[in-house]
Every structure is written in C-alpha cells, then in structure tokens.
Structure 1
Amino acid sequence: MIRGLAATLAAAALLTACSGSPGGGDRAARAASTRTPAVVALADLPANDGPNILVVTTDDMRWDELRFTPNVRKYVTSRGLRFTNSFAPNPLCCPSRASFLTGKYSHNHGVYTHEAPYGFGAFDDHLTVGTALNEAGYQTALVGKYLNGYGKQLSKVTGGPSATYVPDGWTDWMVSIEKRWPAGSPYRGGTYNYNAFTQNVNGKVTGNRGTYSSVVVGDEVSGLVRKYDGAGRPWFIWATPVAPHFGGPAESDDPPSYRTSRGTKSLFKTPARPRWVKGRFDDVITRSLGVRPGRRPSERNISDKPEFFRELPDLERPERPRLLEVQRQRAEALFAWDRQFAKIVRTLKQTGQFRHTVIVFTSDNGYFMGEHRQRLGKIKPHEESLRVPLVMAGPGIPHGVRQSPATTIDVTATILELGSATLPDVDGSSMVPLFAEDRPWQVPVVTEGAQKLPHQLGGFPGALTEMGLRTGRYAYFRYSTGESELYDLAKDPLELRSVYDDPAYAAVRDDLAALWRTYRTCAGDAGRTPLPPAYEVSVAQLRAIHANAVAARKRYYG
C-alpha cells in the first residue's frame, strides 16, 4: 500500500480537504523563499515511497470519446474508477491546464483564456504540482503540450523569452513550442503541426519533422519510464498529447468550410492523422456524436438561450457530412494516441513498474459536435463543453464507478495527497476518500469562461464573461451581458429548455443567485463549503439523474 493512502482509506468516513489553504501573501517573497533549481539532483531529493503517477491529458476530448481508446479502457477503466460527473471548470485549453498545475480556479490563478495578456504570459509557474512533487522527492516530467502561447509570449516569472525557458521543479521538460520561426531556421511547425512537433527539450530547441506528434510524446514518455526505473525515487509524468485537437498539415480528405444560408461561415477543423489509421471508423461512425438522426433539428427552439446562441442557424444539410468527417478524424487521432498509450503500458510492465503506478486519464475540456447549433468548439458552460473523461487505476484504487463530482482541480489535490506533497492555496478537494466509497454531491463546481462578450455587469473577475454554478441537479450560468440560464438537469439533462424565467423555478433561481455571489470568487476552504441541504444530492439521486441523462441522450441523438 502506498504511503499515506492506507491510513486515508481506513479513515475515509470524512471527506479530506486538499492540502492547500486559502490566502496568499506577497507573491515575490513567496517565490524567493520557495524557488528550486530547474533540475534537482537525484541525491538531493528527500525519500518518498509513494506511487509513480502518470497523468495523461488529451486535448479537446469529449467524455463520450473514450469509446475510441480501447487500450485506455483495457488498462485503466477495466480495473479502476470511472467518474461519471467529471468537469473542466473553465473549458478551454490554457486556463484548464493552469488549473491542473496549480489546483486553482481561473479567478485565482489569473489565466482566463489563451490570448495575451491572459494566456501563458499571465501564468506564474514557479510553483506548481510538478514543483511540489519534486520537492517531496519525486522525479518529475512534462511531455507534450504546455500552455497556449508558450514560446511566443514572455515568461511571467523571468520576464524574458519563453522558447527555451524551463520552469522550476521539473527533472525533465519536453514541451512543444508555439513560435514564428525566422526565415532560414531549421525548425518549422510547433504544437499544432502533427508532423513537425518542435519542442523545448530541457532548454534546447529540438525538431521532430516527419514524426507524428503522438509517436514523439509516446516514445519520450516510455524513455523516461525506463530512465527513472531503479533510481530509488518515484516519478510523476504529465503526458499531454495534442490529439484530438485540430492541427496541420492539411489533408486531402479534410472537410471544407461552408457558408450557411444566413451568411454565417462554418469552419470544420480537424486533426491530422497517420496514414495507417485513416478510414478505420468509417463503418462505425455514421454521424457526429452531437448530430441527430436524419434531418432532425439540432435544437428547434433556442429563444431561451443568450443572444450569441440565438444568432446561429440550425445545422444545414451540407454541414452534416462535414461534421461526420470531423468526428471520424477525431476518433482516428485518438486511436493513434491510444496505440502509443499501449506502448507506455508495455514499458511499465517490462520494467516491473505497472502495479506501482497510478494512471489518470482525462482531458483539458470537452467539445461541441453539433449540439445547441454549435458546430464545433468549447468555452461555453454547457455539458458538452464542461464534461471530460476521467478514469484512474493503480495501487489502492478499486474497480467501480463514482457519481460524486470530480474536477480538474480535484485531480491536482488527489495527486498531491498520493505523493505526500503540499501546494499552497489549492481550491480542489482530494478524491482519495472516494476510493473507499461514493459520496453525495455537496459542493458546487464553479464554471468560468472568457467569451468575447461585452462587460455590461460587474462581478466578473479579470477577462471572465461567464461564471456559473453546477450542482448535482442544477446548472446556473450568468453572463457579463446580463443574460442568464438555468437548467433542471433531473428533468432536462440535455439543457434544451432554460427555466430561468419559469415562475415555478423562481425560488431556485433566487437561491442559486445568492449562492453564485458566495462562490464566484471563492478560494481554498471557501470553495469547499457545502451547499445548503436542499441543494445537496445523494448518491442514489445522482445515479438516477445519470441514468436519465444517458437515456435522454440515446433518445435524442440515437
């Protein structure tokens, strides 16, 4: 049994708060007192008999796309826990990844979007989950994609260029770079070129032209697993493949853009795939996951939605085959990564590390695939965007399903507890108590987003234009434009009809508005304060709500 876990499981009658605490203090003073060298000598690491920890975070993967990753299902889902209510509170790559690294909501770490000045350049990465685990005795590595803007934007920590910058606390740093390379440079591509995945490898720019990026990431992770084996210290590897995010190079079967009858231009961006996987799902996938059978409307009436929804026409006939092709290419890109995941597992088994390794598989955000007239995309606070896959397996983790909510920042708190590490100001709660048993939904998920909307109302920190609360039964969203949405997910799990203006829900709306004001800027313990009893949802109720949602989706989308 891993250190600290046996005692936690034995005392799992109480929900353990995460290791951080609210507050802050002077950032510069804290940075000066806690900074560690970028690479720490192995002999200088303290003893730690915790498990190895492998976290795989895909890019823009929906929760229901796990069906395209058979090796994840074989090696993780089939022997570990699957979380049916897993969310990325800010469903966009850059802020979601910053939340995982810090264990904080966006309104506390200040990364609101991927664009300057709120992307990588806004991120203070001198102290992260990697740093904390490294200080606790772990060998640490990040392999794949980091934050959007890394390589282009200046580092907040150093104030200098970031293409060769390596944050403190990482034993190995193998991260893709976003950069406009000058004429004559031997490097091309970057994060979103699947066949030219240029990286910063421990401070040195390295090109990978001609090698598919999932292969690059898979080979590097396997290499690190072998490198760290037998070193006498556990390791933490965060593997972040780009799949199934769209990216080049352009391919002959990519769907073209389309201009609707209202003049709206629909873009259908896809990921590049290796040749061997093309066409693999053509007989299996006959429709995008978010498109209804036949020519049924995506959502017939959207008058209950905010103006930026109402501007969109329903899906038109030429768009349906385009979305189908996007879905097939996403599945192929995921399957290509899944092959690399299987290679990593084989390396773990060959080195005798598999049974000592906790594996977590998740995504940085969900993705629309036609729902609510949203052709593609994320950011918005609805289920298709917020929900992400989350499965984990390893020592001390049983096989089963959990209905209790789990978020990106809860994963961070869990890893910290497993590794006996600490990180200040964490907002999430450790999920280790859930290894023993499921729990009611008692604490809301604060949803956040920075859409390009006018700030007509106050109360939205930084660049945020949407903040909401997701409870076990209700989804409540408020926008900086003054518009709001409210859904009763027990009756309307697909969020087809907002009840915000329904007199029958006036009391619920008023209650959630008051709770919204309480939680919207929460930090640390304040964000873990239980909801009033009327808004807590039992495990049995959560099971019923989940079963109803599955049935409703099957009826609506087939």
Structure 2
Amino acid sequence: MGGSVRRGNRSTRSAVALIAAAGLGVTGCSLGPAEPLRGAGGPASPTPSIAAPSVSPGMGSGARRPDEQRPNFLVITTDDAAPGDLEHMPNVKRLLADRGVTMTNLVAPTPICVPARASLLTGQYAHNHGALTIQGEGGGFASFDDRRTLPVWLRQAGYDTMLVGKYLNGYGAGETRRYVPPGWSDWRGSIDWSTYFFPSAELSVNGEVVRTPDYNTDVFADNVTEMLSAPERHENPWYLTVNYVAPHHGDPIEPDDPVDMMTTVPAQRHRDLFEDLPLPDKPNMFEQRPGDKAMRATHDRARWTPEARAALREAHQQRVESLQAVDEAVREHVWVLRRTKQLARTVVVFTSDNGTMLGEHNLAGKLWHYRDSQTVPTVIRGPGVPQGRTVATLAANVDLPTTIAAWAGVEPGRAVDGIDLRPVLRGEPMPGRAVPTLAHPVLGAARPLYRGIRVGERWNYARLRTGEELYDLRADPYELDNVADDPAYRPALRRLRKLTRALRDCVGAQCRRTG
C-alpha cells in the first residue's frame, strides 16, 4: 500500500450498521422500494438489427493483435451519481468533458448496484449475466459468474488489469475476504461492509487483508497513483478500474445528519462546502397529478413535508460534498498520466453504476423505471475522441465493456449484448436503438418489478405489476404525462409491447435492435 498522499483530517469512529431509510424508492444498494411499483404489459415480435459492433460476440480467447500501440484504459466509477452532479465537479468538466465526449443519454437498464456493475464487467444485460439484484435469489456477489469478464479477456491479450475499490455487494463476506477474481493482475477490492464505512477502508490486496484508517476515496486515489506511477506501466498496455463509493450513503452517522434519511459522508475538508445548495429545480420535482389516482397512490406528494424536504436537501448537499474528493482524485489521475507520459494513449471513462432520484416524481433513490434513475453521468476522453462534444444518442452500460474490448482489439469471452460506441463518439447517427429494461426486488424474487424498453431518444415504456407507463420523451422530457391510455399513442404502445417481449430473452446480436 504505497502512494500515501494525505488530504485532510479523518476520524475512525466505529461503524454503525446500515438501516433502511424511511424515504421512497431505493436509497442504497441494501434497500428496496417502500411501496409496490405499478405494472402490466403485452406481447412482442422481432425488429431489424442495427449494425453489429466491430467486436465479434463469440466465445473468444482474447487473442492479441499485432499493433502494440493499443490504448490503456482508466475507468472511474462513482456510486449512485446523477447526471446533474457533474455541474459540481470542475475537474471532471475541465479535464475530461472539455477534452472528450459527454454522453447525456447513457442508461443503466437495471438501475441498481450489482446488476449494473456486472454489466460493466461483461457487456451483458442482467437477464444474461444473471446477477439480478442485491440479495437473495439472483442477488449479490454470490450470483455472479466472474470467470469470463472483461479483465479476463484483456489479461489473455497481454494487458495488465487492475482494480481498486468497490466490487459487487457481498464481496469479502466470510471466506471471500481473500478471494481474487479471475483476470486481475493487481487486485485491491474493498471488503463489505467496510466498503460503506468512509473513515476507514479495508481492502483485500491480492488476497491480503489490509485496513487503512483514512477516508476511503483518498485511499483508493492513492492506490491508483501508485499503480499508474509504477515503471511496469510502460511495459504492457493496461486496464485500471477504480470504483469510488461516493456519493452512496454510508457511515458513520453524524450529529447533523437528518433523521430518517440516509446520507453519505464527505471528506472532512469538504464538509459544509455546499451548505446553501438547493435541491435541483426541475418540473418533475415534488410533482402533483391530481387527476392520476394510481400516480397519487404510489408517488405521494403529501409525504414530502417541509421537514422531509429539508432532510432531502441535506442529503443532496452531502452527496455533492462527497463527490469533491472524487473530483480531486480525477485531477490527480490525469496529472499522473500526464507526468508519466501515458495520457496521450489512455482512454479515460468517467461513469456511475446507476442514476438516482432526489424528489423527482416524489421519489428518492434508484431502481425505478424513470430516466432520472436510469441515466448515468458518462464522459469519455482518449485518442481519437472528439473534444468538447455532447452526444444525446441512447446508449447503455453494456456498451462500455464492449467498446473497450473493441478498442483493445480483443474478442470477448461472452456473447456481448452491447455495441462499439466509437462511431457514436465520432457523431455517427444510430437512430432508434432499443435497450431492454428490467428490475427485480432488492431482496430477490423470480417475478420482476417491471420490464420495459427504451427506444432512441423518444420512448420510455415499462410494464409494471399494476399497470403500464409510456412516456414520449420528445414531447415530455420530464415524464409528467403517462400516455399509455391515450388512443393517439396506441400504435406506439403496441409496437413497444412487442419489442419488450422480443428482447426479454435476447442474447448477443439479438439484443442489438432498433425500434
């Protein structure tokens, strides 16, 4: 454990067990919706394929290509960050967004920790990689087959592969504390439940358990500095993913934390830096739909009393404050890459596992089928990537590992569901991309909470347990008007029902459809 840059005062108070929040929705990876979701659905039929990615979806061996100028990859992942959070991260904006492409419509089709992170490792939707939720049936680290993942493919092709920080929920429990998943040449994974105790990080460092009494974002950043500065980084191409826990809620609980609202923990140096920050001002914040009884039943505006809104504002403030250490880490990562003359040949990806909601549709948390829950902030810079461009084309988290494999010139060891995004980054059109969406209960269950489909930049459809919801994002970007019962939208509804059915069990190239 080297590279010990110290960034401020840190306490080491004992951990407080995580408890269920009293808010709506999923406010963390251990929580589920406080109320049942609405849903109902319909059939489906095949639709034409879009262009397949340049990477074959077959069961490859990660064969190495002759070109030795293959890029390096630094993937920086946050936990529960929302797209609006980027406005408060000046280093990400200056060093990544201004020098690369910001993707404003990249979604996590199953917007909760384990399924989303497994998709980032496999290029597959949750119904294919099988890690469907956080706990119970199909849940957590135990549900994931990690033998054929992106690091395995890259390692077989001669890449050094490194991980720092969070892996999958449940990693480190019992005998897995010393477990190193296949494919990693340098493994420094955080051990649950210490993962969510911000003042102290406990890592499994290539099988050796190491405890560090420092703020976990800084510990992870220091490890990245050490790895990127090592002389062997110039010997082989490399892939490094650092998974920060911020702005996910965590411990310790502090005196000024709101009651009945789970919050994150900023670094000491950033506390109260945003004490006057208001909640986002959007039309779907604390919305009122007096004519929609089903909406009132599930999304109760009345529960957001002034006290509850103040608590949510405090949670939002602390989220943004916790991301300041991540923003500083991004600056340090870019500086190290520049100092070691690696930046020009390194692809840097900044993203999150899923989005989050902070009052939109009267909800707080994730796992919901709305775009605020699904959309993840994503920025990509690197060789050949245009600078300062914003792309609104629909993409999915399964596209990121598929793109990395294609960029590295390796063949995936799975039938990947994603596409190579490099043409999209260059501005080439990809009309009508269809992305299937899916959510299972947090504690595990065979019956989904919902299935649905996102199509292009226009449609968001979900078949829930008590009804259907359809949003025309072109006319209604804040998803205020469910048009599933509108006769004018009946042809679109039928088409989206069919597409949802067609893609519910798709594999590989079958998933790469247009709507």
**TM-score when normalising by structure 2:** 0.84
1:163 CA drift (Å): 1.2
Partner of 1:550: none
1:279 is aligned to 2:272: yes
1:530 CA drift (Å): 2.4
Partner of 2:35: none
1:446 CA drift (Å): 1.0
1:436 CA drift (Å): 2.7
Deviations 1:148-187 (A, max 9, x none): 111227xxxxxxx3111101111110011115xxxxxxxx
Partner of 1:6: none
Partner Cα distance (2:108, 2:267) in 1: 29
Decide which moves more: 396-405 or 435-444. Answer: 435-444
1:324 is aligned to 2:303: no
1:320 CA drift (Å): 1.5
Instruction: Report SS of the residue matched to 2:163.
Output: strand
Gaps of 5+ in 2: 1-49
Partner of 1:165: 179
Superposition map of 1:234-273 within 5 A = 234-257=237-260, 268-273=261-266
- Is 1:302–1:310's contact at 8 Å kept on the other side of the alignment? no
Partner Cα distance (1:498, 1:372) in 2: 12
1:289 is aligned to 2:309: no
1:123 CA drift (Å): 0.3
Q: Which of 177, 194, 198 is the equivalent residue of 1:194?
A: 198
Partner Cα distance (2:471, 2:238) in 1: 43
1:489 CA drift (Å): 1.1
Q: What count of residue pairs does the alignment treat as equivalent?
A: 462
- Is 1:193–1:247's contact at 8 Å kept on the other side of the alignment? yes
Partner of 2:112: 92
Deviations 1:125-155 (A, max 9, x none): 01111111111111001111000111227xx
Q: Which of 30, 42, 53 is the equivalent residue of 1:17?
A: 53
Partner of 1:336: 325
1:426–1:436 distance in 2 versus 1, CA, 3 Å: same
Equivalent position amino acid for 1:65 in 2: D
1:435–1:292 distance in 2 versus 1, CA, 3 Å: closer
Gaps of 5+ in 1: 1-13, 25-29, 37-43, 154-160, 180-189, 258-267, 456-461, 532-558
Deviations 1:84-116 (A, max 9, x none): 211111100111000110100000011111113
Instruction: Report SS of the residue matched to 1:372.
Output: coil
1:301 CA drift (Å): 3.6
Q: CA RMSD in A?
A: 2.6
- Is 1:71–1:338's contact at 8 Å kept on the other side of the alignment? yes
Partner of 1:5: none
Partner Cα distance (2:304, 2:233) in 1: 56
1:304 CA drift (Å): 6.3
Partner Cα distance (1:21, 1:511) in 2: 27
1:361–1:308 distance in 2 versus 1, CA, 3 Å: farther
Partner of 1:149: 170
- Is 2:62–2:411's contact at 8 Å kept on the other side of the alignment? no
Partner Cα distance (1:252, 1:318) in 2: 17
Superposition map of 1:173-212 within 5 A = 173-179=187-193, 190-209=194-213, 211-212=214-215
- Is 2:164–2:188's contact at 8 Å kept on the other side of the alignment? yes
Partner of 1:309: 298
Superposition map of 1:40-189 within 5 A = 48-117=68-137, 118-152=139-173, 161-179=175-193
Equivalent position amino acid for 1:107 in 2: H
Partner of 1:158: none
1:442 CA drift (Å): 2.4
- Is 2:134–2:442's contact at 8 Å kept on the other side of the alignment? no
Partner Cα distance (2:123, 2:442) in 1: 26
Deviations 1:337-367 (A, max 9, x none): 1112211111111111111111000100000
Partner of 1:397: 385
Instruction: Report SS of the residue matched to 2:453.
Output: strand
1:18 CA drift (Å): 5.1
Instruction: Report SS of the residue matched to 2:229.
Output: helix
Q: Which of 469, 475, 482 is the equivalent residue of 2:460?
A: 475
- Is 2:424–2:430's contact at 8 Å kept on the other side of the alignment? no
Deviations 1:415-448 (A, max 9, x none): 1111111212100001011233231332211111
Structure 1 vs Structure 2: percent identity of aligned residues? 35
Deviations 1:463-521 (A, max 9, x none): 53211101121111012x24211111111111112111112211211111111111121
1:518 is aligned to 2:512: no
Partner Cα distance (1:35, 1:359) in 2: 21
**TM-score when normalising by structure 1:** 0.78
- Is 2:299–2:361's contact at 8 Å kept on the other side of the alignment? no
Partner of 2:375: 387
1:398 CA drift (Å): 0.8
1:297 CA drift (Å): 4.4
1:292–1:312 distance in 2 versus 1, CA, 3 Å: closer
Partner Cα distance (2:487, 2:141) in 1: 44
Equivalent position amino acid for 2:508 in 1: G
- Is 1:305–1:498's contact at 8 Å kept on the other side of the alignment? no
Partner Cα distance (1:147, 1:302) in 2: 42
Q: Which of 430, 445, 452 is the equivalent residue of 2:420?
A: 430
Superposition map of 1:336-485 within 5 A = 336-374=325-363, 376-399=364-387, 400-423=389-412, 424-451=414-441, 462=446, 464-471=448-455, 472-479=457-464, 481-485=465-469
Instruction: Report SS of the residue matched to 1:163.
Output: helix
- Is 1:88–1:386's contact at 8 Å kept on the other side of the alignment? yes
Instruction: Report SS of the residue matched to 2:310.
Output: helix
1:290 CA drift (Å): 6.1
Equivalent position amino acid for 2:386 in 1: P
Partner of 1:497: 481
1:228–1:487 distance in 2 versus 1, CA, 3 Å: farther
1:303 CA drift (Å): 2.6
- Is 1:299–1:314's contact at 8 Å kept on the other side of the alignment? no
Instruction: Report SS of the residue matched to 1:114.
Output: coil
Instruction: Report SS of the residue matched to 2:305.
Output: coil
Equivalent position amino acid for 2:215 in 1: Y
Instruction: Report SS of the residue matched to 1:140.
Output: strand
Instruction: Report SS of the residue matched to 2:320.
Output: helix
1:517–1:307 distance in 2 versus 1, CA, 3 Å: farther
- Is 1:18–1:427's contact at 8 Å kept on the other side of the alignment? no
